[in-house]
A and B are shown apart, each in its own frame.
Chain A
Amino acid sequence: MLRRAIGKFIRHPGGMVGLGLFLALVCIAVFAPAIAPYDPLRVDPIAALTPPSAEHWMGTDTLGRDVMSRVIHGTRISLRLGVISVSIGLSLGVLIGVLAGYLGGRVDGILMRFIDMLLAFPSLILALVAVFALGPGLTNAMIAVGISAIPAFARITRGEVLSAKENLYVQSAQALGGSEVTIMVRHILPNIIAPNIVMGALMTGTAILAGAALSFLGLGAQSPTPEWGLMLSQGRGFMSLAWWLTFFPGLGIMLTVMAMNLLGDGLRDVLDPRIR
Chain B
Amino acid sequence: MWTYIVRRLLIVFPVMLGVAFMVFSAMYLIPGDAVDAMLRDTGATAEAMARLRAQMGLDQPFHVQFLRFLMVLASGDLGRSLVTGRPVADQIASQLPATIELTLAALAIAILIGVPLGVVAALRRGSWIDTSSMIVALVGVSMPNFWLGLLFILFFSLQLGWFPASGTGGLRYLVLPAVTLGFSGVAIIARITRSSLLEVINADYVRTARSKGLKPRTVVLKHAMRNAMASVMTVVGLQFGALLGGSVVVETVFGRQGLGSLTVGAIQRSDLPLVQATVMLAALAFVLVNLLVDVSYSLLDPRIRYA
CA distance A262 to B26 in the complex (A): 35
Q: Is the CB of B286 within 8 A of A122?
A: yes
In contact, A120 and B139 (Cβ under 8 angstroms): no
The one of A116, A123, A130, A209 in contact with B15, judged by C-beta atoms closer than 8 angstroms, is: A116
A92 to chain B, nearest CB (A): 15
Binds B, one of A47-55, A80-88, A189-197, A253-261: A253-261
How many residues of A sit at the interface, in one of the four size bands?
A: 35 or more
- A205 x B249 contact (CB < 8 A): no
Query: In the complex the two chains form, is A219's CB within 8 Å of B142's CB?
Result: no
At the interface, yes or no: A31 with Cβ under 8 Å from chain B?
A: no
Contact, CB under 8 Å: A218 / B283:
no
Q: Does B89 contact A (CB under 8 A)?
A: no
Which of A209, A236, A247 is close to B144, meaning CB atoms less than 8 Å apart?
Answer: A209
B209-253: which residues lie under 8 A (CB-CB) from chain A? 231, 241-242, 244-246, 248-249, 252-253
If over half of B's interface residues share one DSSP class (helix, strand or loop), that class is named, otherwise mixed; here it is helix
Q: Which of A114, A216, A255 is close to B249, meaning CB atoms less than 8 Å apart? A: A216
Q: Is A125 an interface residue (CB 8 A)?
A: yes
- Answer yes or no: A188 CB below 8 A from chain B CBs: no
Which residues 111-143 in A have Cβ within 8 Å of B in the complex? Answer: 113-114, 116-118, 120-125, 128-133, 135
Contact present for B275 and A258 (CB under 8 Å): no
Instruction: Tell whether B45 is near chain A: CB-to-CB under 8 Å.
Output: no
Is the Cβ of B18 less than 8 Å from the Cβ of A120?
Answer: yes
Bound-state CA distance A276–B207 (Å) is 25
Of residues 28 through 68 on chain A, the ones whose CB sits less than 8 Å from some CB of chain B are: none
Flag whether A229 is at the interface (Cβ < 8 A): yes
Instruction: Report Cα–Cα, A117/B16, bound state, in Å.
Output: 8
Structural contact, A254 and B287, CB atoms closer than 8 A: no
Shortest Cβ gap from B81 to chain A (Å): 15
Among the listed stretches B46-54, B72-80, B119-127, B261-269, which one makes contact with chain A, having 4 or more residues with CB under 8 Å of it? B261-269
Cα A236 to Cα B139 in complex, Å, equals 22
Cβ-defined contact, B18 with A128, below 8 A: no
The proximity string for B residues 249-287 relative to A, scoring 1 for CB distances below 8 Å and 0 otherwise, is 100110000000001100110100001000100110011
Known contacts A217-B264, A240-B158; 16 additional CB pairs below 8 A are A114-B18, A116-B15, A121-B22, A121-B241, A122-B245, A129-B26, A135-B30, A212-B146, A217-B252, A219-B267, A232-B147, A236-B253, A239-B150, A243-B154, A257-B143, A276-B192
Interface pair B147/A253, CB less than 8 Å apart: yes
Q: Do B150 and A246 touch (CB < 8 A)?
A: yes
Name the CB-closest residue of A to B27: A133
CA distance A128 to B150 in the complex (A): 22
Looking at A132, A209, A229, A255, which has the most chain B CB atoms within 10 Å of its CB? A132
A264 to B242, CA, bound (A): 20
| A125 in contact with B192 (CB, 8 Å) | no
How far is A131 from B16 in the complex, measured between Cα atoms in Å? 21
Indicate whether A161 reaches chain B with its CB closer than 8 angstroms.
no
Which of A117, A121, A217, A255 is within 8 Å of B282, CB to CB?
Answer: A121
What residue in chain B is nearest A132 (Cβ atoms)? B267
Contacts of B92 in A (CB 8 A): none
- Structural contact, B283 and A213, CB atoms closer than 8 A: no
Contacts of A135 in B (CB 8 A): 30
Q: With A218-B268, A254-B142 in contact, do A120 and B287 touch (Cβ < 8 Å)?
A: yes
Complex: chain A residue closest to B192, CB-CB: A276
Docked complex Cα distance between A174 and B26 (Å): 41
Residue of B nearest to A123 (CB): B245
B175 is an interface residue with CB less than 8 A from chain A: no
| Nearest CB in chain A to that of B165: its residue | A239
Tell me whether B279 and A125 are in contact (CB under 8 A).
yes
On A, residues with C-beta under 8 Å from B are: 113-114, 116-118, 120-125, 128-133, 135, 205, 209, 212-213, 216-219, 229, 232-233, 236, 239-240, 243, 246-247, 249-250, 253-255, 257-258, 261-262, 276
Q: Compute how far the CA of A255 lies from the CA of B75 in the bound complex, rounded to whole angstroms.
A: 49
Contact of B141 among A114, A117, A261 (CB under 8 A): A261
- The one of B19, B29, B147 that contacts A121, using a Cβ cutoff of 8 Å: B19
* Interface membership of B21, Cβ < 8 A: yes
Most buried by A among B27, B138, B150: B150
Assembled-state Cα–Cα distance A130/B26 (Å)? 7
Would B19 and A117 count as touching, CB distance under 8 A? yes
Residues of A within 8 A of B298 (CB): none
B21 surroundings in chain A (CB, below 8 A): 117
- Chain B residues, Cβ within 8 Å of A253: 144, 147
* Cβ A113 vs Cβ B144 within 8 A: no
B242 x A128 contact (CB < 8 A):
no
0 or 1 for each of B146-182: is its CB under 8 Å from A? (1 = yes):
1100110110001000000000000000000000000
How far in angstroms is the closest Cβ of chain B from A20?
15
CA distance in complex: A250, B145 (Å): 10
Given contacts A217-B249, A261-B141, contact A254 B147 (CB under 8 A): yes
B159's nearest neighbour on chain A, judged by CB, is A240
What distance in Å separates the Cβ of A154 from its nearest Cβ neighbour in chain B? 15
- Report whether B147 and A120 are in contact in the complex, using a CB–CB cutoff of 8 Å: no
